[in-house]
Amino acid sequence: MNRRQPQIKLQAFLANLPMFSEMNGADLDRIAAHTLPHYAEKGQSICQCGDPCTGFHLVVYGQVKLGFTSAQGIEKVVEIVRPGQSFGEALMFLDAPYIVFAQALSDSMLLHVAKQAVFDELARDPGFSRRMLSGLSRRLHGLVRDVEAYTLRSSQERVIGYLLAELRDDADASPVEVHLSAGKSVIASRLNMTPEHFSRILHELGNAGLIEIHGRTVRIPDLERLRGYRV
Amino acid sequence: MNRRQPQIKLQAFLANLPMFSEMNGADLDRIAAHTLPHYAEKGQSICQCGDPCTGFHLVVYGQVKLGFTSAQGIEKVVEIVRPGQSFGEALMFLDAPYIVFAQALSDSMLLHVAKQAVFDELARDPGFSRRMLSGLSRRLHGLVRDVEAYTLRSSQERVIGYLLAELRDDADASPVEVHLSAGKSVIASRLNMTPEHFSRILHELGNAGLIEIHGRTVRIPDLERLRGYRV
DNA sequence: GCGCGGCTTTGATCTAGGTTAAATGTAGCC
DNA sequence: GGCTACATTTAACCTAGATCAAAGCCGCGC
């Protein structure tokens, strides 16, 4: 109805992201002018390995998985991207094509922010550069943690780590429930194991009384006990 | 003898790095004023996991390994840093302590550039921000490639990949020699396998006629054949 | 309610790569 | 040269986790 409505919402959404926080109206207008919404249905591909990079992507709602496909067609999920998170920034600065694919895990809305808008803003606003550097650093840090987990931790430790990380801001009063936000096969791949093995580990932890599994909901009766569990 | 000599050399060294290229004399002076040389003998620790980050490190000569240590004391090398390369930038932007340790693999000289000098320069020079973003992006990209290798490639493929990557700018005229720049155990750890397994793979490749091993020198008679080798 | 197609679980079996241990090099260093 | 200390190799054996195959389960459309 009102043509300006989407435009206004767009800027309000951007303003709430760490990357664009502290920007004034004019700055946001410039970014918004180079931003395009993109709706993807569950299962739909957002970008493919090899595609050129023309900007970066923000998830507004829904869920997106990033991953690679091996020569034999095996798929490995590197990251599950949630609302408010973004991907593809690094590629903008490298002029390199995507090395991962992105696919919607559920019906999702994304925003595509054109490279040029970002570059212009970087040249104009040192604060924006700093936030961009922070964002990339956080990503890098997370990836190093992932490498540590893949190379130095057992599957069981990775599963426990995942469950504990999913709590985030939730209460730490001990009887907690974690809701698995994606299918178990996707989570298994993200943790670098087969769905079968993931299932077995979940049940082992269940038998040990550390968790209770009800479909996609995992109840943790005693957080500290799960934190300290070995073998 | 001449007190100014080291200062001048310092700026000349910095000016040759991608990160500081295109900087004018005054800019370089400001950076150099907050840069301290650091000499580390082979085996000496440069920083430990948990240390606070006060700036980033540049390798002038020598070689530095970055890695983590598991709770059981097992060590995993994440990266081997060579002259002209740097590490620890991301941590500056996160105000987080080191999650890896750094140790000299051979007698090395490093430079420590203080956080403040970087931050001042970022606020002053958008070009520097861009180069910093490129640098971090490159690092991120490399890590994603590593994750792909760790999760989707066999040990043998990782070894072949490593040998081919070590060629870099070297001639691609087919009889090539690669010199392993670090001990085999360090390289094995970098490739996420045991020294024993690394040794076995090298000999398998040798038996298949793909490489010839002479101590730390590996001769590759036919590059294309090594590139295309499977199982 | 019924049946179809995709997830998830379970069990049996297999294997890449790790572990252990001992032999063999090799590099400094007196 | 000969010694010591460490790096590398070799061989035998073992295990975490993958693969394969067959049920269950569960949500969804009709």
What integer pLDDT is reported at residue B226 of this predicted model?
94
Compute the nearest-CA separation of B65 from chain A (Å). Answer: 15
User: Cα–Cα distance between B108 and B63 in angstroms, integer?
Assistant: 6
Looking at chain A, which residue has its C-alpha nearest residue B142? Answer: A140
What integer pLDDT is reported at residue A40 of this predicted model?
94
Q: Which nucleotide is nearest to A195 (CA to C1')?
A: C8
| Range in A191-200, B145-154, B174-183, B186-195 with the lowest mean pLDDT | B174-183
Are the beta carbons of A141 and B140 closer than 8 angstroms? no
Distance B183 CA to D15 C1' (A): 28
Predicted confidence (pLDDT) per residue in A38-66, tens digit: 999 999 999 999 999 999 999 999 999 99
Residue B36 corresponds to which tokens in the numbers above? 């301290």
Interface residues, strand C, Cβ cutoff 7 Å: A 183-186, 195-196, 198-200, 202-203, 213, 216; B 154-156, 192-194, 196-197, 215
What is the rounded average pLDDT for all residues in chain B? Answer: 93
DSSP A151-215: HHS-HHHHHHHHHHHHHTTS--SSSEEEE--S-HHHHHHHTTS-HHHHHHHHHHHHHTTS-EEET
Residues in chain B with CB shorter than 8 Å from the CB of A96 are: 141
A126 touches strand D (CB under 7 A): no
Residue keyed to tokens 């930038």 = B89
Average pLDDT over residues B90-115: 96
Are the beta carbons of B34 and B114 closer than 8 angstroms? yes
This prediction's pTM: 0.93
User: Cα–Cα distance between B210 and B227 in angstroms, integer?
Assistant: 10
Report the DSSP beta bridge partners of residue B101.
Answer: B67
Mutation site for B-interface testing, chosen from A68, A92, A115, A151 by largest number of B Cβ within 10 Å:
A151
Give the percent of chain B with pLDDT over 90: 88
Predicted confidence (pLDDT) per residue in A133-162, tens digit: 999 999 999 999 999 999 999 999 999 999
Predicted confidence (pLDDT) per residue in A75-129, tens digit: 999 999 999 999 999 999 999 999 999 999 999 999 999 999 999 999 999 999 9
CB contact under 8 A, A78 and B126: no
Q: Does residue B103 surpass a pLDDT of 60?
A: yes
Chain C: nucleotides below 7 Å from protein CB are 7-12, 16-21, 26-27
Q: Which nucleotide is nearest to A192 (CA to C1')?
A: D17
Looking at chain B, which residue has its C-alpha nearest residue A153? Answer: B70
Question: Which residues 154-213 in chain A have a CB closer than 7 A to strand D?
Answer: 154-156, 192-194, 196-197
CB contact under 8 A, B152 and A70: yes
User: Cα–Cα distance between A33 and A198 in angstroms, integer?
Assistant: 44
CB contact under 8 A, B122 and A133: yes
Are the beta carbons of B50 and B91 closer than 8 angstroms? no
Residue nearest to nucleotide C18 (CA to C1'): B194
Residue keyed to tokens 């249905």 = A41
Residues in chain B with CB shorter than 8 Å from the CB of A68 are: 148, 152
DSSP B20: G
Residue A152 contacts B, CB cutoff 8 Å:
yes
Compute the nearest-CA separation of A6 from chain B (Å). Answer: 31
Closest residue by Cα to residue B220 from B230, B210, B229? B210
Question: Which of B184 and A175 is assigned the larger pLDDT?
Answer: B184
CB contact under 8 A, B151 and A192: yes
Return all residues near A46 (Cβ < 8 A) that are at least 6 apart.
A38, A40, A57, A64, A102, A103, A104, A110
Mutation site for A-interface testing, chosen from B137, B160, B229 by largest number of A Cβ within 10 Å:
B137
